[in-house]
Amino acid sequence: MTIGIPGWGFSGWIVSLAALSKNKAVGAIMMINAVLFTAQAAMGVVLLKRVHSMYRQTEASFKKAQAEFATGVLSNQVVRQAATNATVSAAQGAFTAPR
């Protein structure tokens, strides 16, 4: 969306610069959108880098995350009951579905 490829329905840099030559007001509004999309993309990169550095500082690993998920989520009675209900509903639907 930041780039603004013509014909794709986005309001980015390329489309806003092209619109600026046709209509100044529309081009200015589209330019504001392009600036905001660029800022959003930049902040996304900054936040991703911060989260990654925080992840590395805690010496976390994928195995630790899996173990934490297994102990936290699978031991929760509400989650287990919801999984059981979903499984039962899917099985009943498979057996009672018209062929």
Residue 3 has φ and ψ, to the nearest 5°, of: -70, -45
What's the pLDDT at 97?
64
Mean per-residue pLDDT pooled into runs of 10, the chain (99 residues): 71 85 90 91 95 82 78 76 86 75
pLDDT per residue as tens digits for the range 31-57: 998 999 999 999 999 999 998 888 788
Distances (CA, A) of 1 to 13, 54, 67: 9, 29, 38
Cβ-based neighbours of 80, under 8 Å, separated by 6 or more = 74
Task: Quote the distance between the C-alpha of residue 74 and its chain's center.
Answer: 25
Q: Indicate the DSSP class of residue 62.
A: H
What's the pLDDT at 8?
72
